[in-house]
Amino acid sequence: MNVVELIQRKRDGGRLTADEIRGLIQAYADDHVPRYQMAAMAMAIFFTGLSADELGVWTDAMMRSGEVLDLSDHPLPRADKHSTGGVGDKISIPLAPMVAACGVAIPMMSGRGLGHTGGTLDKLETIPGFTTTLDPPDFVRILGETNLVLAGQSETLVPADRRLYALRDVTATVESVPLISSSIMSKKLAEDLDALVLDVKFGTGAFMQEFEDAQLLARTMLGIGDAHGTKVSAFLTDMSQPLGREVGNANEIRESLEVLAGGGPTDVVDLTYALGTEMLLLAGAARDEEEARDRLATAVANGAAMDVFRRVVAAQGGDTKVLDDPSLLPVAANSHTVTAASDGVVVEANARRIGVAGMRLGAGRATIEDVIDPGVGITLHAKRGDRVRQGDAVAEVAWSDPARLEDCLALLESAWVIGPEATPPPLIRERLRNDHASRQ
C-alpha cells in the first residue's frame, strides 16, 4: 500500500477503495503507518470529506481494529444511548436502569468529562467503591446478571480510535463530521447492539453549537447505522442551558436518584422518558409510544428501575447505602451564593459558562490527566423563563478551594442574563430515524 498516494488522492477530492481504507486503518492500528502520515490523511478528510460508502467502510474498519463484543447469547434485545455531551447531562444514569427494568439489555460504555462537559464515568465513580474499569468477561457477566452494565471503554475495544482521536486532538482535525461520526459510531457498534438512540446536542453548551451542524452530524451517524444494519434514531436537543438543576459529579448522581425515585426536574424527566421510549420501541420491547411510556413509568413507580440500579451498583463494587441516603455522597465543605443582578425574567443561563465554571471548580478536566473533585458543583435555582428579583439566589456553588472559586466567579456572574421576558425553546427540536429504524 502506497500511503502517500492515498493521501494525495484524498487531498485532491478522490475516493479510496474499501480495501485501501481497511488496509490503512489496520496498518495504523498495528503501528505500521507513521503518525505524520495519518495526520495528513485526517487533514485531507477534514477538507474533502468521505462519501457515504467510504464512511461506512472507514467506521467498520475502525470497529474491527480491536475486539468486537459478541453479546448474541444474551436473551434480551440490546440497546444503548449516546449523548454528544453537555452540561448537567446525567440522563444515562436514570435512563439505563429504567430501560433495563423494561426488558432491554444495556451494555453501556461511557466516557469521562473533558472541557466544559461532564462524563458519566466520573459521576458514577462518586459512589464509594464503584468501579467503571471492567475486563470484557466481567462486563459480559454483569450484563448477564443485571441486564445492565455501566463501564468505560476497554483497552481492547476500537484501538484505532484511541490512537486517531489523540492524533486529531493535536492536529486541529477534531471538528470534522466524518471523523467525529466514525469515531462515535465505531465504538457504539462494537457493543453489538440491536438499536442505538443518539442525543445530539446543539446550543452554547454543545460540541456543535449550531442546530444545522448538529443535524448534519446526526444524519451522518444515522447513515453509518444503516450501512451497518443497525437501527439508529437521533434526537436533536437543546443544550443552551444546563439540563436539570445540578452540575457536578456527586450533585448529578443525587439528581439522578431523584428521577429514579419518581421525582426530578421536568427537563431531565422529559428527556429521559423520550429517549427511553425510543429505546423500547427500537428494541421491540413495546408496541407503541404509549405502552413504552407506561412501562417506564411503572418501572419507576414500583421500584424496579431503582432495583436494577442497586444491583448494578453492587455488582460493580459500589456502596448501595448511597441509594437510600444520598447525603453519603461527597459534598464540598463550603458554599457560595450567586445572585440576580436585577429584577426580571431569566433570558439565559449560559450552559457553556456554567460548564466552564464547573470545570474550573474541579468538577471537570481541562486535560485528561486532571483529577476530579467529586463534591464540588453548582445547583441552579433559576433557569430560562424563571422570574427573579435583584439579589435572589440564582445558583449555589459548593466549593473546596478558594483559588478555584475565585477563578470561576466572574464567569458564573455573567452566565445569567435577565431581561423583560423569555420564551424558552423546546428541549427536543427534532427526532430522526434511519431507514432500519423507520422500518420498525
Decide: is 69 part of the binding site for ligand URA (CB under 6 A): no
Nearest distance from residue 70's CB to ligand URA, in Å?
22
Nearer CB in complex with ligand URA: 208/329? 208
The one-letter amino acid code at 373 reads: D
Decide: is 158 part of the binding site for ligand URA (CB under 6 A): no
Residue 161 annotated as catalytic: yes
Nearest distance from residue 43's CB to ligand URA, in Å?
15
Residue 386 annotated as catalytic: no
C-alpha dihedral, 299 to 300 to 301 to 304, nearest 10°: 50
Residue 168 annotated as catalytic: yes
x-or-dash string of contact with ligand URA, 203-222, rule CB under 6 A: --------------------
x-or-dash string of contact with ligand URA, 329-348, rule CB under 6 A: --------------------
Of 197, 208, 164, 194, the residue nearest 182 (C-alpha): 164
Nearer CB in complex with ligand URA: 84/249? 84
Q: What are phi and psi of 309, to 5 degrees?
A: -65, -40
β 195-202/246-247 pair status = unpaired
Q: What is the DSSP letter of 327?
A: G
Nearer CB in complex with ligand URA: 221/432? 221
Write down the catalytic residue from 82, 116, 188, 404: 82
Write down the catalytic residue from 60, 161, 267, 373: 161
Decide: is 183 part of the binding site for ligand URA (CB under 6 A): yes
Write down the catalytic residue from 90, 187, 201, 353: 187
- Exposed/middle/buried for residue 74 (C-beta within 10 Å: 0-12, 13-18, 19+): middle
Residue sitting closest to ligand URA (CB): 183
Write down the catalytic residue from 110, 154, 181, 183: 183
Decide: is 184 part of the binding site for ligand URA (CB under 6 A): yes
Q: Measured between alpha carbons, how far is 267 from 215 in angstroms, rounded to an integer?
A: 21
The one-letter amino acid code at 415 reads: A
With beta carbons less than 8 A apart as the criterion, state whether 387 and 353 touch.
no
Nearer CB in complex with ligand URA: 180/274? 180
Of 348, 338, 342, the residue nearest 405 (C-alpha): 338
Residue 188 annotated as catalytic: no
Stretch that binds ligand URA, among 6-14, 180-188, 258-266, 300-308 (CB under 6 A): 180-188
Nearer CB in complex with ligand URA: 120/183? 183
Nearer CB in complex with ligand URA: 100/198? 198
Decide: is 180 part of the binding site for ligand URA (CB under 6 A): yes
Nearer CB in complex with ligand URA: 165/211? 165
Q: Measured between alpha carbons, how far is 118 from 120 in angstroms, rounded to an integer?
A: 7
Residue 352 annotated as catalytic: no
Decide: is 121 part of the binding site for ligand URA (CB under 6 A): no
Q: Which three cell numbers stand for residue 388?
A: 427573579
The one-letter amino acid code at 283 reads: A
Q: Measured between alpha carbons, how far is 32 from 55 in angstroms, rounded to an integer?
A: 22
Of 199, 233, 231, 230, the residue nearest 214 (C-alpha): 199
- Exposed/middle/buried for residue 410 (C-beta within 10 Å: 0-12, 13-18, 19+): exposed
Stretch that binds ligand URA, among 35-43, 172-180, 275-283, 327-335 (CB under 6 A): 172-180
Stretch that binds ligand URA, among 40-48, 67-75, 173-181, 370-378 (CB under 6 A): 173-181
Residue 46 has a CB neighbour count (10 Å cut-off) of 18
Sole residue written with cell 474491527? 64
- Kindly give, in sequence order, each residue whose CB lies less than 8 Å from that of residue 5, ignoring residues fewer than 6 positions away: none
Stretch that binds ligand URA, among 32-40, 120-128, 174-182, 366-374 (CB under 6 A): 174-182
Helices marked H in 12-135 = 18-29, 35-48, 52-63, 92-101, 120-124
Decide: is 50 part of the binding site for ligand URA (CB under 6 A): no
What are the residue numbers of the active site? Answer: 82, 161, 168, 183, 187
Catalog residues that contact ligand URA under the rule CB under 6 A.
165, 174, 179-180, 183-184
